[in-house]
A = this chain, B = another copy of it.
Amino acid sequence: MATLSSLLRRGLLGRPVASHDVAEPRMSRWQALPVTSSNALSSLAYAPDEIVLTLVAAGTAALALGPLVGWGVVVVMLLIVASFRAAVAAVPQGGIYQMARTKLGPRAGVVASAALLLDFVFTAAVSVAAFAHFAAALLPGLGLESRVLVACAALVGVLLASLRSARLSRWALPVLVSAFVALTALLVAAGLWQEGQGLLGRAATSGWTQEGAGIGGTVGAVATALLALRAFSAGSVLLTGVEVPVSSSSAMARPAVATVRWVLAVMALTLGALTLGVMHLAQRTGVVVALDPARLRDAAGRPVAEADTPAPVIAQLADTVFGPGSVLSLATIAATALLLLFAARSAFRSFPALASRLAEDGYLPRQLRVRGDRLVHTWGVLALGAAALALVLLFRAQTALLVQLYVIGVLLAFTLAQAGMLRLWRRRLAQTPGARARAAVRLRLTITAVAWVVTALAGVVVLVTRFAQGAWVALLAIVLGSLVMGRIHRHYEDVGRELAPDPEDDARALPSRVHVVVVVSTLNRPALRALAYARATRPSSLEAVVVDADRAVTEDVIDAWSRAGLPVPLTVVAAPYRDTVVPLVRHLRERRRRSPRDLTMVFIPEYVVRPGWRTLMHNRTATRQKRRLQREAGVMIGSVPWQIHEGQGDGDRSTTV
């Protein structure tokens, strides 16, 4: 049994890695850039879609707002990144959690980390859902239902790669990210050139409308502003992942602060430029996407067949600019799809790392700190996988639905981190003497303040415009998560306080006398051995106990006992209700009441049958007695196992060690 499962484990996860193999070289700028920015860059695969589909729901004319909303999102993103660049100088080791925790206190840290953990779950779920969407653009035969399957398969694949701690990404990711950036940049450039030449075509979905969409014609200024805000809140999913370079600073080449700041700047400018270009071209080519494809009508007003469900915005643009089905177009779509998988993989790095950090601080169960065979935080990876899988199944892999719950957590975490930084810079300003140094701090303070206000406002916008569509669920999850983490922390503190050694402690006191009880159910060899071992410990007093659950059996034991001539008194404990555990406990308590300062040691003979399923054929009396006795004060349990071989030799035993 053990051999089969260990083979399977070895095959799926690879050979165990020793702890001293853990040290990885620090990443240079050009290595760090693709690794830490893949998460942020991948939002380009779905953020434009969110903006467009929000506008489409208000009517085709509203699409003109697209580039403006794009600018709004990009400006907020740049502000946040600027504040992070300022922050790394002050909290070089830290991610969001540390920023909030050290500057605002543990409670804010817990809330920020709950929000971040939820975020990573959504990153994984949204990335594989969007991957399935892009896969459907490559393979048009893929129906909406099979997209759920594709997303789940992708998630399981990423999960296994994470458990293996696959090293592939070290080489593949830089190539892939470069390809993605190059192709989308080429897409934007080619599109702009075509536009200049008057050659830019219309997207296949141009002129499509959504049934029941808002007024297509003129709308009031207030309604337009509200619509723009709603589109902005959807598009702010672009912000997700920009914190990854900050929290990865410990893996970057020294000086880490400079590396992080460089990576942040390059990443933000690239992402910003690409987003603006994509939003501009999307508006010019008339790209349409929709939350519910069944409600779309094509340019002639006919319902759209399921096979013609609109592809994601980038895929549609690639088809329009490079030509449908052209090599460049297919390459762009494929690169985006692969990048999404790496974004999911990145969540599988960030979540276990943060969870392990939180477990270290006592806010999450300790198992999350355990590193498995491959040095991966196994439980963290599995927890993330299970949660993301649940989300994918629950929302049938529909990216747009998932995004509505996604954004609020990011904004909450960013706002908290920035509030912490704001406090830090204000204190720094008060402590800094020289005018020039003060000016530098004041600049950082200003950037952070602006970013904080903008992030908080964006958060309020999302909360107000998206509350009913799911933001409340995310908020509730964050609140509940924070409460649970608080409870866990209290539990560990209580336990830690009780277990801490204490010079006055009675735990160090040697018990005056040791009273040994051997529990006998039949007088077989395990029982004889337990008795011999018990005698070998030379106790102050020794008794054997038989629990009288079955009169005939008990009499057999008494007979065998007197025939064996054992120099140990045998006590019979009555068990009128045939329970073998409670009468034993009563007997021990009775004894303890008479001499409370003695230590009682209970020896329980057991035989161990292998393979494990054979234990089904034996009463588990010993196991139940041991489990119950663990709850008795002043009782120590000695288990004397007897290994049964049944003549097969112990070949299987040597293989499992």
Tell me if A387 is interfacial: C-beta within 8 Å of chain B.
no
Asked whether A532 is an interface residue with its Cβ less than 8 Å from the other chain, the reply is yes
Q: Beta-carbon contacts of A319-344 to B below 8 Å, as 1s and 0s?
A: 00000000000000000000000000
Binds B, one of A412-420, A466-474, A533-541: A533-541
| Interface pair B538/A538, CB less than 8 Å apart | yes
Per assembly, the copies of the chain total 2
**Contact (Cβ within 8 A) A639 B626:** yes
A636 touches B533 (CB 8 A): yes
Q: Is A262 an interface residue (CB 8 A)?
A: no
Q: Which chain B residues lie closer than 8 Å to A653 at the CB level? A: 631
Residues facing B in A619-657 (CB within 8 A) are 619, 626, 629-633, 635-647, 653, 657
Docked Cα-Cα span, A282 to B180, in Å, equals 83
Question: Which one of B509, B539, B626, B631 contacts A643 once the chains associate, using CB atoms below 8 Å?
Answer: B631
**Do A528 and B510 contact each other (CB < 8 Å), given the known contacts A578-B370, A599-B533?**
no
Q: Say which residue of B617, B631, B643 sits within 8 Å of A641 (CB atoms).
A: B631
A383 at the interface (CB under 8 A from B): no
Tell me the complex Cα distance, A647–B491, Å: 11
Tell me how far the C-beta of A557 lies from the nearest C-beta in chain B, rounded to whole angstroms: 12
Give bound CA distance, A609 to B494, whole Å: 11
Q: Given A499-B642, A636-B638, A636-B639, are A507 and B536 also a contact pair (CB < 8 Å)?
A: no
**Chain A window 491-529, contacts with chain B (Cβ cutoff 8 Å), 1 for yes, 0 for no:** 110110011111001011111001000000001111011
Give bound CA distance, A119 to B613, whole Å.
27
> With A365-B617, A606-B630 in contact, do A525 and B502 touch (Cβ < 8 Å)?
yes
A294 CA to B353 CA, complexed, in Å: 63
What residues of chain B lie closer than 8 Å to A642, measured between beta carbons?
499
Interface size, chain A (Cβ < 8 Å): 87
**Across the interface, which residues of B come within 8 angstroms of A526, CB to CB?**
499, 507
Q: Which of A13-21, A269-277, A436-444 contacts B (4 or more CB under 8 A)?
A: A13-21
Q: A35 contacts the other chain (Cβ, under 8 Å)?
A: no
- Nearest CB in chain B: distance from A648 CB, A: 10
A586 on interface, CB distance cutoff 8 Å: yes
Known: A370-B619, A536-B599, A617-B491. A641 touches B647 (CB 8 A): no
Cross-interface CB contact of A498 among B501, B538, B644, cutoff 8 Å: B644
What B residues does A616 contact at CB under 8 A? 365
A508-B529, A510-B532, A631-B643 known; 18 other A-B pairs, CB under 8 Å? A19-B551, A19-B577, A19-B578, A366-B617, A367-B619, A495-B646, A499-B525, A499-B642, A505-B525, A508-B528, A510-B535, A514-B536, A537-B538, A608-B630, A630-B639, A632-B641, A632-B643, A637-B638
**Which 8 A-B residue pairs are closest in the complex by CB-CB distance?**
A499-B524, A18-B576, A630-B641, A507-B525, A507-B529, A507-B528, A637-B639, A365-B617
**Can you list 26 A-B contacts (CB < 8 A)?**
A17-B577, A18-B576, A19-B549, A19-B577, A491-B617, A494-B646, A495-B607, A499-B524, A501-B564, A507-B525, A507-B526, A507-B528, A507-B529, A508-B532, A510-B535, A514-B537, A533-B599, A537-B601, A608-B630, A608-B631, A631-B641, A633-B643, A636-B638, A636-B639, A636-B640, A636-B641
